[in-house]
Structures are given as C-alpha cells and as structure tokens.
Amino acid sequence: MAMSVNLPHRAARSPLAAALALGALAGLAAAPASAAPVVLGSKIGNDMSRCAAGKGPAVRLDVTGLKSSAGNLFVRTYYARSSDWLKSRRYIHRIEVKPRQGTTTVCIPLPAAGDYAITVQHDVNGNRDTDFSTDGAGVSNNVKFGSFLGVLPRPPGVDKARFTAGPGVTRMAIAVQYR
C-alpha cells in the first residue's frame, strides 16, 4: 500500500518530525479495519443475534428475580477500572428493555475480550430515577450491596464486580436485589 506524506516545509527538513509522522501513519495502517472507537455513554438496542453461536465477544445475560414487568430495565456495561465504575456516562453502553417478571435475557456486545463489570437496575415505576425503596439492582458476580448508615444501599467496588469475557459469548446471570 503506497502512502504519500505531505509535511510542512520546516518539518520536511527535520528527520525527527518526518519519522514521527511516518510512524503515526504506520500505526493507523496497522489498526484492524473493523476496530471502531468506543463512545462511552451510548444507548444500544438488545440485539440477541449478537449472542448466537459463533458470535462475540458478548455476554448473554439472564437478569433474574424481577418482581414485576412494570417500568424499565437498564443494563450498563463498564470497563473494569475504578476510573469508570459507576461514574456518570462512563459506561460503555446502556441497554434499556421492558422487564418480564422472573427473568429477562439481554445480549451485551463487548468491544473486545477482556475485563468488564455490569450493573442492572429495575426502575419499577418507570420514572428514570433511582427510588431506593422500590427499585431493584444487581451487579456482575451477584455481589450483595452494603448499606450506608443502614439506610442507603452502597454498591460493591469494581474489584468484586469484575469478570473476564473471552472472544466468544460469555453466559452470566445477575439476580436483582430489592430493598
């Protein structure tokens, strides 16, 4: 593949600038064509075909213990790092589905194999706010929520919610906890 590089007049005389520019172009050419940058905080649909045999990386998630079919079910996927975990708009993507009493299945596509953490929230009354007295929630690895002063739920740290997804489809279940 032939590439031409047009450098500014001064840069053309600098071997270091020319080498850096060519190195940057070589790095771009080496990137996989299918690799797309991840835009944090985006909403995607629940496309179960992405969890079919031979697909991936993805998580086929069974959200269990749903008390009703009312409201909304939000599933958020995070990179398993404390700088992103539970921070506003720092999730990889959010999937919003209508819950079904008992179990609802969701397919979560992942950018690559690696370490992630997932949260689920059952917004029972559908107001898109967290109502601690009625809403349910859960995290990957089914870690129990602690409490702050015995009143407000305290979510677990990312180290307890972290799991590793391979290149295929990882199966997981998260049980929703209600207060």
pLDDT in tens, 89-137: 999 999 999 999 999 999 999 999 999 999 999 999 999 988 878 899 9
Could you tell me if residue 92 is inside a domain?
Answer: yes
What CATH number is associated with residue 158? 2.60.40
Helix, strand, coil share (%) of the chain residues, nearest 5: 20, 35, 45
Of residues 96 and 18, the one with the higher pLDDT is 96
Same domain for 93 and 151, yes or no, is yes
Count of domains observed in the chain: 2
Residues 100 and 18 in one domain: no
What domain range is 24 assigned to? 7-35
**So what's the pLDDT on residue 69?**
97
Q: Both 67 and 23 in a single domain?
A: no
- Residue 154 is predicted with a pLDDT of 78
Q: Are residues 172 and 129 in the same domain?
A: yes
Same-domain pairing of 152 and 98: yes
Q: What is the pTM of this model?
A: 0.77
One domain, residues 117 and 142: yes
Backbone phi and psi for residue 9, each to the nearest 5 degrees, phi listed first: -50, -50
CA distance 124 to 66: 10
Give the tens place of pLDDT for each residue, 122-178: 999 999 988 878 899 999 999 988 766 555 677 899 999 999 999 999 999 999 999
